[in-house]
């Protein structure tokens, strides 16, 4: 290769952008022996030029003019780390149309548009890589597309949001209520100023859409991922879970079966002997089941400056290797099937239910009867502590259809002598 330098541009110099700049600088001495070429950051696009110039100490690299990067034919790779949908989408499309390869960590955009963007990349003979968009530092996209490609996968489930895992860990280990654990996550910088996307499960849903699409070779959009966050989980739920030998985790689930793909995000009771139960604090993990590999789990940092940059720069190196060997666009969109996404009423699950009722003869029997009439098979039904003239009834069901269970719960809710359904949480159990 005559020109032994590949020029790149970084769009955005925030947490991940600056981390990526630092990791590329730290790898400078290793690039030639590792890759056969040198990677040079030619431009960094930001809004606030002065701030970025001071941050890097290299004002000549900084611009606020996208055209300066787009029209520079010497820039071969664009690393998009601005976030959000626009202008990121437009810049990525324009870069691909100009024959520039793209690496991005943008889960919002990839979750909503990855099929179309991958098709565009293919049309222009470019690579589009997004390892950092799911579970930050943890290699999971490349393993699913490459190392595990010889499997029929049946399940990809994960803890893919660090903020909520931190909150649930503090609730479990220190008996905190949700609001106190969220306040601590904010104080320590885990939770964003507006934590809604994390605590309501939307951030995890974006990652599930991407994971499910890749795992089952069939496009799943974020709108098809049923999403429930952790705001209703109480310290009391966690204590009950512990009594049952479980913890509570926010699980992103992608399950493949005869009826299609099941894709959802929900808090779930996980048996303490499951590998995901040991994943605490802000760590992420993705657990995979396949017909050949059996079980495998990927664990690590799901966010943060250098961990996320590790995945971004790993993708940049992969693109550079492809450029050096003249084989870009090797692994494009892998969605060659069109599987239905199973409606949630048909998804089967075990459930944990806590209901407060008046302490009267026949109430326990009434609850059991409603479940029986809705084809909900009960595994355990226990009357717990008395509080004045009310008692708590705890029910664990067998694996039942979501629709049947919800109808039974609505029926119980409106019964005389029922004060409140206090919690409904899925219980993880191997699918039949
Ligand atoms: P961030 O700290 O908010 O940084 C965003 C950067 O982009 C800032 O430098 C900002 O410049 C620049 N920017 C935003 N809009 C721009 C525009 N229109 N034109 C030019 N520059 C613009 O964000 P981040 O946390 O690094 O996240 C970046 C991406 O990585 C997002 O897609 C995010 O979802 C993804 N991600 C982040 C993490 C993480 O740990 N943070 C983990 C995985 C994935 P100014 O400062 O000049 O405004
Ligand atoms: N907000 C995310 C989390 C990190 O808490 O895991 C970026 O994906």
- The confidence band for 431, taking pLDDT boundaries of 50, 70 and 90, is low
Would you say the CB of residue 160 lies under 6 angstroms from ligand 1? no
Cα(235) to ligand 2 centroid in Å equals 23
Cα(85) to ligand 1 centroid in Å equals 11
Strand (E) or helix (H) holding 41: strand 38-45
User: What percent of the chain shows pLDDT beyond 70?
Assistant: 99
Query: What are the strands of the beta sheet with 62-63, ordered from one edge?
Result: 62-63, 38-45, 5-11, 75-80, 101-104, 128-129
pLDDT for 2: 47
Q: How far apart are CA 44 and CA 21, in angstroms?
A: 9
Ligand 1: nearest atom to the Cα of 49: 47
Q: How far apart are CA 9 and CA 348, in angstroms?
A: 47
- Among the listed residues 42, 43, 100, 207, the single catalytic one is 207
Q: Average pLDDT, whole number, for the chain?
A: 95
Strand (E) or helix (H) holding 410: helix 402-413
Phi and psi dihedrals of 126, rounded to 5? -115, 160
Q: Say what angle helices 235-243 and 162-174 make with each other, to 10 degrees.
A: 70
pLDDT over 70 at 3, yes or no: no
Nearest CA to ligand 1 atom 8: 14
pLDDT for 351: 98
Out of 9, 13, 14, mutate this one to test ligand 1's pocket (max ligand atoms within 8 Å of CB): namely 14
Mean pLDDT of 100-119: 95
Nearest CA to ligand 1 atom 21: 46
Ligand 1: nearest atom to the Cα of 18: 26
pLDDT over 50 at 320, yes or no: yes
Mean pLDDT of 402-409: 98
pLDDT over 90 at 255, yes or no: yes
pLDDT for 387: 83
- Our answer to whether residue 207 is catalytic in this structure is yes
DSSP 144: I
What would the pLDDT profile of 283-317 be if each residue is shown by its tens digit?
Answer: 999 999 999 999 999 999 999 999 999 999 999 99
Cα(135) to ligand 2 centroid in Å equals 8
Mean pLDDT of 32-51: 97
Out of 108, 169, 188, 198, mutate this one to test ligand 2's pocket (max ligand atoms within 8 Å of CB): namely 198
Would you say the CB of residue 307 lies under 6 angstroms from ligand 1? no
pLDDT for 432: 44
pLDDT over 70 at 151, yes or no: yes
Q: How far apart are CA 352 and CA 137, in angstroms?
A: 33
> Hey, what domains does the chain have and what are their CATH numbers?
5-136+305-324 (3.40.50.720), 141-301 (3.30.360.10), 344-427 (3.30.70.260)
Q: How far apart are CA 177 and CA 294, in angstroms?
A: 37
pLDDT over 80 at 122, yes or no: yes
Please tell me the number of the ligand nearest to residue 44's CA: 1
Ligand 1: nearest atom to the Cα of 307: 40
- The confidence band for 385, taking pLDDT boundaries of 50, 70 and 90, is confident
Helix (H, G, I), strand (E, B) or coil at 181: helix
3-class secondary structure for 323-388? HHCCCCCCCCCCCCECCCECCHHHCEEEEEEEEEEECCCCHHHHHHHHHHHCCCCEEEEEEEEEEC
Q: Say what angle helices 162-174 and 178-187 make with each other, to 10 degrees.
A: 120
Please tell me the number of the ligand nearest to residue 311's CA: 1
Out of 12, 20, 89, mutate this one to test ligand 1's pocket (max ligand atoms within 8 Å of CB): namely 12
């Amino acid at each position: 290769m005559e020109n032994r330098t590949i020029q790149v541009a970084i769009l955005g110099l925030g947490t991940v952008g600056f981390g990526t700049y630092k990791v590329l600088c730290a790898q400078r001495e290793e690039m030639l022996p590792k890759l056969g070429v040198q990677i040079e950051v030619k431009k960094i696009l930001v809004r606030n030029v002065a701030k970025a110039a001071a941050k890097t100490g290299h004002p000549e690299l900084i611009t606020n003019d996208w055209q300066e990067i787009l029209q520079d034919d010497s820039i071969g790779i664009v690393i998009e780390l601005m976030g959000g949908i626009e202008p990121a989408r437009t810049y990525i499309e324009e870069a691909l149309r100009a024959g520039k390869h793209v690496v991005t960590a943008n889960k919002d955009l990839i979750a909503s548009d990855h099929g179309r963007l991958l098709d565009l990349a293919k049309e222009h003979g470019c690579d589009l890589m997004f390892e950092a968009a799911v579970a930050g530092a943890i290699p999971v996209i490349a393993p699913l597309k490459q190392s595990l490609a010889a499997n029929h996968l049946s399940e990809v489930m994960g803890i893919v949001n660090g903020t909520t895992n931190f909150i649930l860990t503090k609730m479990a280990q220190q008996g905190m209520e949700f609001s106190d654990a969220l306040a601590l996550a904010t104080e320590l910088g885990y939770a964003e100023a507006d934590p809604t996307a994390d605590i309501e499960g939307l951030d995890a849903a974006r990652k599930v859409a991407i994971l499910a699409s890749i795992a089952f070779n069939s496009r799943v959009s974020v709108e098809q991922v049923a999403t429930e966050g952790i705001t209703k989980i109480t310290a009391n739920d966690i204590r009950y879970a512990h009594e049952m030998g479980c913890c509570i985790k926010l699980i992103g689930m992608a399950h493949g079966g005869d009826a299609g793909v099941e894709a959802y995000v929900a808090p779930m009771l996980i048996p303490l002997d499951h590998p995901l139960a040991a994943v605490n604090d802000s760590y992420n993990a993705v657990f995979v089941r396949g017909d050949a590999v059996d079980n495998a789990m990927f664990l690590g940092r799901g966010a943060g400056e250098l961990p996320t940059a590790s995945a971004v720069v790993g993708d940049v190196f992969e693109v550079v290797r492809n450029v050096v060997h003249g084989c870009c666009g090797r692994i494009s969109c892998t969605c060659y099937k069109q599987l239905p996404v199973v409606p949630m009423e048909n998804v089967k699950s075990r459930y944990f239910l806590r209901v407060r009722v008046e302490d009267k003869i026949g109430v326990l029997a009434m609850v059991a009867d409603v479940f029986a009439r809705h084809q909900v098979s009960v595994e355990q039904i226990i009357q717990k502590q008395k509080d004045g003239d009310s008692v708590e009834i705890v029910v664990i069901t067998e694996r039942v259809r979501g629709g049947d269970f919800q109808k039974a719960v609505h029926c119980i809710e409106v019964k005389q002598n029922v004060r409140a359904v206090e919690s409904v949480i899925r219980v993880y159990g191997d699918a039949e």
